[in-house]
Structures are given as structure tokens and as C-alpha cells.
Amino acid sequence: MTREDDNDTPRLTRRAVLATLGVGATSGCLRSIQSTAGRDTPDQISLSVKTVPADDDPRATRIARFLVTNLQQVGIDAKVVPMSREELLRDVLLNHSFDIYVAQHPGYRDPDFLRPLTHSMFGVELGWQNPFGYANLELDDRLERQTRQTGAARTKKLKRIQRTLVRNQPFSVVGFPESIRATRDDRYAGRDDLPVNSLPWYLSLSEQEGVGTTDATSDETATPQTTSAANETRTTDTETASEPTTFRTTLTDARPTENLNPLAIEFRGPERITSLMYDSPGRYVDGDIVPWLAESFEMTTEGSDRLVSRLRLREDLRWHDDTPLTADDVAFTFEFLQDTSMGNLSTAVPSPRFRGLTSLVESVEATSERDVRIEFGSVAEPVARRVFTVPVLPEHVWEQQTGRAMASSLNTDSAVTKALVWNNPNPVGSGPFRFVSSSVKQSVVLEPYEDHFLARDDVASPAGGFHLPTFDRLEFALVPSSGAAVELLQRGEADATASTLLPEDVSAIGRNDKLSLHVSQSSGFYHVGYNVRQAPLSNPRFRRAVARLIDKPFLVDDVFRGYASPASSPLGNDGVVPAGLRWKGQDPELPFHGSEGELEVEAARSEFEQIGYRYTKNGRLLSG
């Protein structure tokens, strides 16, 4: 295993050594390498590229097709395998059953997301915990060190982490898309500086003049009548005036209509519906984590480097079923997410979602009805504060889901609890919106929770800068496509798009003066992921050669129509990204073999030969 040019000596922990015991230093593979002795004749290399169908995400599909075409041109037997979103995430994140996949990462708030994504100790876990099976002891050490550092020291470590990942390519970043959404602002309008479909945006919506009025004649202007018919008319007018007002949004992803379990990794996407129902001790507001369910949280250091938080909840918090929310629920949540079996099975079964955050917590204790003590160990405060964004779960609901799931679609050697496969048909949260109903492949309906703390008059800022909306219902309606969502907006049958729109629909929005276009940079990057547990993808040189078959500038222009930024690093192109990895017209590390989407086949084939692979006379690339 090579070392970078730096002056810090890696500190190999016992856990890190055990995690990679028996793995070849150059393979990056977590499983034992099978012997190739006795193989009579090498076979043509065959690879499948899994992704979603064009109806679900045409961008991912086109990236996969582009890659497969070029794999075939260099002599690899390659094919695209389309599957539904939940099937893809199940195969990649839970079953680890794939060669290559193309998908969009869900995004991140802090560079520490790279730790669960690539640290070897997570390689046998589920979710976005190292689905590649990548192992690198030096990288493990740096990933752990950056959690304890701040400022320039952390930036330096993060730059070295990025260089290692880009050099070894457990996954290839394609680019960061822009999130495109649209609103119709004649009924309600939200703050322009907040992302559409985020919780703060929904809580900033203000009713526009004229909303809620009806065409019915008011009692003050109606002609006096004394007949029963007149009474019936007035009753009808009253019912019309009191009909619930609904804020209508569109979804192009059916998964939320089928499953509302905040822990079900294969069903959670960027629609954020569960985050509206489940509150957390802290929330991101204007880029900072501020107290939310918590009235306050304080950080102190005990001993030489042990970080401890004392969290105090707001008074009189309640779940949507009117059960009191207490510090016991907070303590239960962290214990439960670290082991969803709560000790009932022989080994811990952590929740794949929020795993990177809960792995920072060493212990948690409810010290009173409103107070919680959380021990982090040796972790820098900016990294630890993100733990406050974990959604709190009601103990009286989730303690019933700790048993082993007897029937599961997960093909994994690990135990699976009911909590991870339950569809949570009647969610009980504590968030600003309460569940009303759902209809599979049709809609999800929520309503403002009138007993939420934001309904009080004495909530201090920054949480106090938001309010419960005045509408009665929040409806997420499933539509077949991005274009169909825009049509509903144009006809006044929808107020906003929850799912992102495709670039080809932008012009239709611009031509309608009643619609507003909202474009923001996404932190969820499209990428090509490799299963490094198996040959030939266990060879980093092979992965690098494959990465040079991806023309990122062409894909950004052709697939994303310019609404994306190509990148080499999973942290994008600025900030803590090393100067040598910032985008300057082409990939700074692994430029495409060709230009304008056209592959220079001979140059690409030559690279595979240079790293030790052979071709048959008819151009097939051999496995050995």
C-alpha cells in the first residue's frame, strides 16, 4: 500500500487492523481473495451496470448507457441492468449484490460523511456505509483523525483523504447536479433564500392576499330569508367557506406513498417527507445547527479530550398521538439506532440510516424528564454537533419493532430487525406536520400539528423565526413525470414541485409568468460505484482505467444540459478540495480517453494492456 507525501505517521488501531486482516494491500477488497490457480483459460471480462430505468431517472440511465457502450468498445462484455429505485438501493446498499452501479448519492452536510462511506470498519454494514467494500488502512486513520480536528489541521487531513480516494477510485464522481424546482406563488409564497421542499421553506410559507375566499354570498350581503331553503343555502355556504385549504405538491417518486419508515434506506430519497413528521433536537437553519426540540445544548470537555453534551428539551413536548415526549425518548433513540434489536439478538443490528452520526456517540443517559447527557469521546465539537440532527423516535412505538424480521427481501448474512423492514403505515412523530393518510402510488397527506412548539408565542429565534403554515393540509401527489408536474402547476392544480424537475422542463416554467423557477446546487453527486470485493474491480488500476471511459464534461452538457458541475472529488470543486483536484476543463486526475463523447478506442485499450490485461485476436479483454 502506497503512502502519500506527508509527515504524519498513520496510527493503526486494533479495530482497523482487524477490519482488513487477510486483505492484500493493493486490492482494496474486504473479502478474501479467491485463488485463481487451476484456471485453464481466462474468460472475457463481463460486467453488469445496475441503475434505475429512464422513467425513474433518465440522467442515471444515460450515464450507465454511456459507460456500457465504452466498456464494450474496449472489449468488455457489459450490459445495463435497469431496476426500480428500491431494488437498486437494496442490491447496492443492503445486499452488496452488484458489479458496477450508477446512482446519485443522497448528499451531505459535512465532509465527515466520507468516513462511513469509505472506512473499512463499515464495509460489512448496510446502507451508505462503504457499499464498495473498500479497505485502506492509511485512509482509515485519516478519516478517524479528521473527526478530532478543526480549522486548518482538519482541512489538511481532508485534502489527503480526497487525494487517496481519487487515486484509488472506489467510486468515480461524475458531477453535482443542480436541483430544479418550481412554485406557483399566487396562493402561498415561501422565503426565496430557502430550498423549496425543505422543512424551513414549508414553515416560511405565507398566505397571499385572497386565499381562502369563496364565491359564496356572505350572510351580510345576502337577502334575508326565513324559509328552510334559505337555511340550507346558508349551511352550504358555511361548509364551502370551511372546506380545508390544501397546499399541493408533486412527487415523481412513488416510494414515500409505499413506506414512511425513516430508517428504511431503500425507500428514503430527497423528498424529505419523513423529516416533516419527525423532529430532532437540532435543525439546520441558515447553515448552522440550532436548538429545535432542544431548548439548549451545551458542549464541555471532561478529562483531557472527552467531549460531553448536556441537552435540555423544551417544556411540554408531545408526540402526535398526544403521548408526552421526554428525555427517555431521546436516550432510547440513540441506543435504538446503534442496535435496533436493543440487545435481543446475539449481535447488534445498527440502523443503516444515521449510522455515521450515531457511531460518534459512546453513551447516552436521560438524567431527568427533560435533560440528556451524551458522551462522544475524542471528537471535535463541529463534528459532534451534527448528532443533534438525528430524528427522535417514540420509544412506545419503536420498542415493539426490535425483534428479528423473519421474512425479508434482504439477502444478507447479518440479522435484520423488524424496525428496518417495517413500512410504518401510521407514523407517530413530533414534527410540525402530522400524518393524515396515504394511498399507494397516489399520495401522502399531512396536516400542521397544532400542539407543536412553534404554535407557541414565546419561542425564541432562530426557531422562533418560523411558524406553522395557515393551510389545513399538505398533499404530496404522485405524477408520472417531471413534465406532468409542470403541467399541474400551469393549470393551478399544484403549488410546488417536491421532486426535482428535469432541465428540459425549465423553458416551460420560464414562459409562464405565474410560475417561479428555483435552482440550487445539490450536494448529492452522481457517481459510478464499484464492488471492489471481486476481481477485476478489486484492482485499483483497473478501476482507474474504467474511470477514464467516462466523459464528464460531455455528460454534464448532454445529459444535464448544463445544470450540473463536473467534479473529480466527492467534495466538489472548492472549499477543502485540493488545488490539484479542482475542475479545470477536464478531469485533473483521470481525463477521458477522447473528446466530445467520442472514445479514442485504441488509447483506452492500450491502458488496459499497460496494466497487465490481454486481448484475444477478436478484441475481447481477458480476465487473466
pLDDT digits (tens, 9 = 90+) for 84-139: 988 999 999 999 999 999 999 988 889 999 999 999 999 888 889 999 999 999 99
pLDDT digits (tens, 9 = 90+) for 248-291: 999 999 999 999 999 987 777 665 899 999 999 999 988 889 99
Mean pLDDT, the chain, rounded, equals 87
- Cα 540 from chain centroid (whole Å): 26
Give percent of the chain with pLDDT exceeding 90.
71
Model pLDDT, residue 611: 95
**pLDDT of 25 above 90:** no
Rounded to an integer, what distance in angstroms lies between the CA atom of residue 63 and that of residue 209?
A: 46
Model pLDDT, residue 286: 85
Model pLDDT, residue 37: 42
Give, in order, the Cα–Cα distances in Å from 69 to each of 62, 73, 598: 10, 6, 11
**pLDDT of 425 above 60:** yes
Q: Report pTM.
A: 0.85
Rounded to an integer, what distance in angstroms lies between the CA atom of residue 141 and that of residue 6?
A: 13
The grid coordinates of residue 335 equal: 441506543
- Cα 456 from chain centroid (whole Å): 32
pLDDT digits (tens, 9 = 90+) for 391-418: 999 999 999 999 998 755 555 556 789 9
CB 111 within 8 A of CB 571: yes
With H, G, I as helix, E, B as strand and everything else as coil, classify residue 555.
helix
Model pLDDT, residue 409: 58
Model pLDDT, residue 223: 31
Rounded to an integer, what distance in angstroms lies between the CA atom of residue 249 and that of residue 576?
A: 36
Rounded to an integer, what distance in angstroms lies between the CA atom of residue 145 and that of residue 612?
A: 36
* Angle (nearest 5°) at CA 599 between 609 and 608: 10
Rounded to an integer, what distance in angstroms lies between the CA atom of residue 63 and that of residue 583?
A: 19
Rounded mean pLDDT, 335-360? 92
Name the burial class of residue 273, with classes exposed (0-12), middle (13-18) and buried (19+) by CB atoms within 10 angstroms of its CB: buried
* Angle (nearest 5°) at CA 213 between 212 and 214: 120
CB 424 within 8 A of CB 398: no
Model pLDDT, residue 108: 87
* Angle (nearest 5°) at CA 498 between 479 and 173: 105
Model pLDDT, residue 461: 79
- The DSSP line for 264-306 is -TTT--TT-HHHHHS--SEEEETTEEEESSEEEEEEEEETTTE
pLDDT digits (tens, 9 = 90+) for 167-204: 999 999 999 999 999 999 899 998 888 989 999 999 99
Q: Model confidence at 6, in pLDDT bands (50, 70, 90)?
A: very low
The grid coordinates of residue 165 equal: 480516494
| Domains contained in the chain, CATH given | 14-178+524-592 (3.40.190.10), 278-419 (3.90.76.10)
